[in-house]
Structure 1
Amino acid sequence: MRTIDLFISRVCIARCIIAAMWTRRRFIFKVFVLTISLLICLAIFLSKFVFPVPKLSDTEISRYQERNLTPNVDSKGTPILLWWSSIYSNIVDDVKTFGTVQCRVTNNRTLRNNPDSKVFIFYGSHFEPYDLPLPRHKNHLWALIHEESPKNVYILNHENTITLFNFTSTFQRHSNYPITTQWLKCPDWLWETTFMVSLEEKNRLRNIEGLAPILYVHSDCHTPSDRDSFVAMLQKYIKIDSYGVCLNNKKLPESLRFRGSMVAMESDEFLKFVGRYKFSIAIENAVCEDYITEKLWRPLRVGSVPIVFGSPSVRDFLPNNHSAILVQDFRSVAELAQYVEYLDTHDEKYAMYLRFKKRKIKNNFLQDILRKRDWQASKDCKTFRTKHNSFIYGFEEFVCKEMHEFERYMNQTGPRFEKKIASLLHYNCPEPKRFDKLGRYTVRDREWLREWTDARYEAVVMWNLYSNNRTVQPDVFVQMVKSEKEKYARNIHKLKI
């Protein structure tokens, strides 16, 4: 009996030990799972907000990248559109059908000498003047697409460069496939009221919470448009809340701060933040015909009256003639400040600038552009439906059809068919200037001109290489540009003597 009791007691002790060990193991397992989960959450947070993965560019273009497509091995005979300086960050190789024609779109450079390669497409921001697909055969067409600031690639401002291309897609209305309204992702934005703040609330924020009448948010300082100098002059006459790195005098909320990505500035939170202000500075970083970005469209979307400087012809694209304040309409920065103060204290006059939000867009030119464009950049558009969700794909279709038309004429007998050649009208960016003491953009400045003029020598060297079917290494190209610049200086010196 005693033996049985001893056995039972030992079994009970063993079960208790096993149960304790199991409970402890479960506890350890739970701790392990919890730790792994926390580490994963931390990694996601760091990747999204603290150390975001860099994108192709800071523009919307990076959002239009196509999915990774399986290369077409059975596409012999299909004309190839070869992205030489590609806008895509992934491998692209696909046969696309555009109505009754087909083209193989790829960024596989090994196909350069393929007899089916007909068009070479260059993305402006990645254009390298020393790395061209040479020799260029008589049936090769070159196409350029560039939506970003001209200050990123000054060489395109010069005739030796722009005339290399047969087709262009730029912010200029005179380009073959203009994308002036690229930053107006959705025409519905012009009458959207989601992020608007009532005039009563804006006045309360001005009077009770001390908000300035004008908002300025820029972290790209020292730009060719000299906007920081203008804003600094304007600040002497009227209060401006500056949240960016440039002329900073206020801190952005933590969640909206710039960390190498524009994502925060595209969020609903930021749009509501901008909507609280009566006026927003909308000065581009470069002064070019038709160069218009989100700096204009964002305040129009949220109901903050934009104070605009950039394209001399920006009025052509406004919803109506009373929807923005144009710097060029004033004789001095002091006169501009006086007018803004007047609107700030006269609600009925201020409200006139927001009438277009009630679907009162009287600009037929703008409506015609939006009606004709075959792309949009937002799935939220309800009023307008287009063929493409990106102007990149629209340009590929345009170039493909133009190439087929060119091939058709080349194969016919009769009058000689002239290739289309781009001109400076396709990329109209004059030399940069500075604002004078009154706030007029008229001063020629050697510092601002340096990059613009240096690009002229680059264009000359590039043309010489192109004419001789040569490509060189980057360091050799730099040295050739330096020599060209010195030669020009010597010639000028001789003329003076």
Structure 2
Amino acid sequence: MTPKTLSGHRHHIIIGLVVLMCFVALFFVYYKPAVSWLPCPRTELTPDTCKHVCLDVPKMEKAAQFENNCTLNYTMVQQQTADTQSPVLESAQNTKDTNTKVVLIWSWPFGHHFNLDSCGSELGITGCRLTDDRSQLDKAHGVMFHLRDIGGDLSYLLTLSRPPLQKWVWMNMESPANSPQLPGADHLFNLTSNYRRDSDIWVPYGRLIEASEEDKKTFQIPTKDKLVCWIVSNWNVNYKRVGYFNELSKYINVEGYGRHFDKYIDQDDYAKVMSSCKFYLSFENSIYKDYMTEKLFNALKYGTVPVVIGPPRVNYEEYIPGDSFIHIDDFGSPQELAEHLKLLDQNQEMYEQYFAWRKYFTVKESPFGLEHACRICEYLNKNHNFRVFTNINQWYWS
């Protein structure tokens, strides 16, 4: 091939390359590619790789626009990735598992923390996710508010925007005498969770359940070296229990423990002391229907006979056998009660009759806070109806 011919071929190649480059340039000017067309997969986007891909596009007006689009798409993908990595959001948005409910614990009751993953292991309640992350408020199916911890939050709560189907649950285990009212809280809550039987989500302080064969075989009345005991710290001369104790102690010796008696005991000593007493004064600080606290159920659990001040006997017998406790209302005076306790102390057979129930039942305590949150989940799974409490103060304090 002659030099002239070779030069002609080179000339044609150069012209072809120029035409090709012009075509490519025009292509990028007038064609706006989709993100999926470039090697910037949604599942692997990062700020650096996405920016790298965008900047490889020729520096033209459309390239600059594409870089902005790529950055915007990365931000959206990053947010979507964060959402899918959150188990709370995943459970709330999972349309396949309609039985999974998310309950937000607005504040830990009295600062008492519990395991958020223990509804199944502790109570056999499934389909439940608990969280204390307030940023998930708009994703929760239910929100649990502990009355005593709301305090100054009420005005703030009134400003919050709530999903239409979200349930706000008023939770409280104190008696009306020891609970603050919430002026302006009408229509704020949908449900209640309380020791009262007429609350929506009933959680008593304890309950008697069927005893296992092992419990029936192993229970024995603990050895006793004290007649009557009382552990008390909250001393108020206006309480009925204080006046009754002062009169009762004139006729029978009562071993006193707790802050009032300057005899502090820890949890281990608490169980030992209570089980070593023949009778324990399960005196409630206030008297209301269904208000039977750990003072009753701990006495039953640790093998002593509770002597109760609280609601009428008939109310107690809705929860525990009538021959498992002694009610002060059964006696005309503290002196008569003292004489009865002394009689039982001298008659072991009569005394043991108060433990006949242990052949069939055992005590199950309610995990404070945890059971309320888990029962809320359980309720929301089973009930999908409209519900609102129009006047919480009238219901609880009337």
TM-score w.r.t. the length of structure 1 is 0.49
Q: Is the 8 A contact 1:224 1:286 kept in 2?
A: no
- The aligned counterpart of 2:258 is 244
- The aligned counterpart of 1:35 is none
- The aligned counterpart of 1:349 is 350
Match of 1:172 among 174, 184, 196: 196
Match of 1:141 among 154, 167, 170: 167
Match of 2:134 among 109, 115, 118: 109
- The aligned counterpart of 2:73 is none
SS in 2 for 1:155: coil
Distance, in Å, in 2 between the alignment partners of 1:141 and 1:310 is: 33
- The aligned counterpart of 1:285 is 285
Distance, in Å, in 2 between the alignment partners of 1:336 and 1:130 is: 50
Q: Is the 8 A contact 2:280 2:304 kept in 1?
A: yes
Identity over aligned pairs, percent: 23
SS in 2 for 1:288: coil
Match of 2:180 among 123, 132, 154: 154
- The aligned counterpart of 1:197 is 222
Distance, in Å, in 2 between the alignment partners of 1:82 and 1:423 is: 23
Distance 1:347 1:398, change over 3 A: same
Distance, in Å, in 2 between the alignment partners of 1:289 and 1:131 is: 33
- The aligned counterpart of 1:398 is 378
Q: Is the 8 A contact 2:211 2:359 kept in 1?
A: no
Distance 1:350 1:172, change over 3 A: same
What is the Cα deviation at residue 393 of structure 1?
4.3
Distance, in Å, in 2 between the alignment partners of 1:83 and 1:292 is: 25
- The aligned counterpart of 2:249 is 235
Distance, in Å, in 1 between the alignment partners of 2:202 and 2:237 is: 24
Pairwise mapping of residues 249-260 of structure 1 onto structure 2 (< 5 A)? Answer: 252=263, 257-258=264-265
SS in 1 for 2:289: coil
- The aligned counterpart of 2:65 is none
Distance 1:80 1:274, change over 3 A: closer
Distance, in Å, in 2 between the alignment partners of 1:229 and 1:223 is: 7
Aligned amino acid, residue 170 of structure 2: L
Distance, in Å, in 1 between the alignment partners of 2:298 and 2:114 is: 33
What is the Cα deviation at residue 402 of structure 1?
5.6
What is the Cα deviation at residue 343 of structure 1?
2.1
- The aligned counterpart of 2:105 is 83
What 5-or-longer segments of structure 1 have no aligned partner? Answer: 1-69, 206-210, 259-263, 379-388, 407-417, 431-497
Aligned amino acid, residue 334 of structure 1: Q
Distance, in Å, in 1 between the alignment partners of 2:114 and 2:356 is: 47
Question: What value does the CA root-mean-square deviation take over the aligned residues?
Answer: 4.4
Pairwise mapping of residues 266-285 of structure 1 onto structure 2 (< 5 A)? Answer: 267=268, 269-285=269-285
Distance, in Å, in 1 between the alignment partners of 2:128 and 2:222 is: 48
What is the Cα deviation at residue 106 of structure 1?
3.2
SS in 2 for 1:85: coil
- The aligned counterpart of 1:226 is 240
Distance 1:338 1:279, change over 3 A: same
TM-score w.r.t. the length of structure 2 is 0.60
Larger-gyration structure (1/2) = 2
Does 2:340 match 1:339? yes
Distance, in Å, in 2 between the alignment partners of 1:323 and 1:427 is: 31
Distance, in Å, in 2 between the alignment partners of 1:226 and 1:329 is: 16
Distance 1:425 1:192, change over 3 A: farther
Distance, in Å, in 1 between the alignment partners of 2:128 and 2:324 is: 43
What is the Cα deviation at residue 135 of structure 1?
4.5
- The aligned counterpart of 2:150 is 127
What is the Cα deviation at residue 358 of structure 1?
2.7
Aligned amino acid, residue 145 of structure 1: M
What 5-or-longer segments of structure 2 have no aligned partner? Answer: 1-84, 95-100
Deviation per CA, 1:137-179, whole angstroms, max 9, x where unpaired?
58243212223454542316x8x65763221111001111111
Distance, in Å, in 2 between the alignment partners of 1:192 and 1:231 is: 36
Q: Is the 8 A contact 1:81 1:400 kept in 2?
A: no
Aligned amino acid, residue 172 of structure 1: R
Q: Is the 8 A contact 1:191 1:356 kept in 2?
A: no
Distance 1:130 1:231, change over 3 A: farther
Distance 1:289 1:136, change over 3 A: farther
What is the Cα deviation at residue 84 of structure 1?
2.9
What is the Cα deviation at residue 117 of structure 1?
4.9
Distance 1:394 1:225, change over 3 A: farther
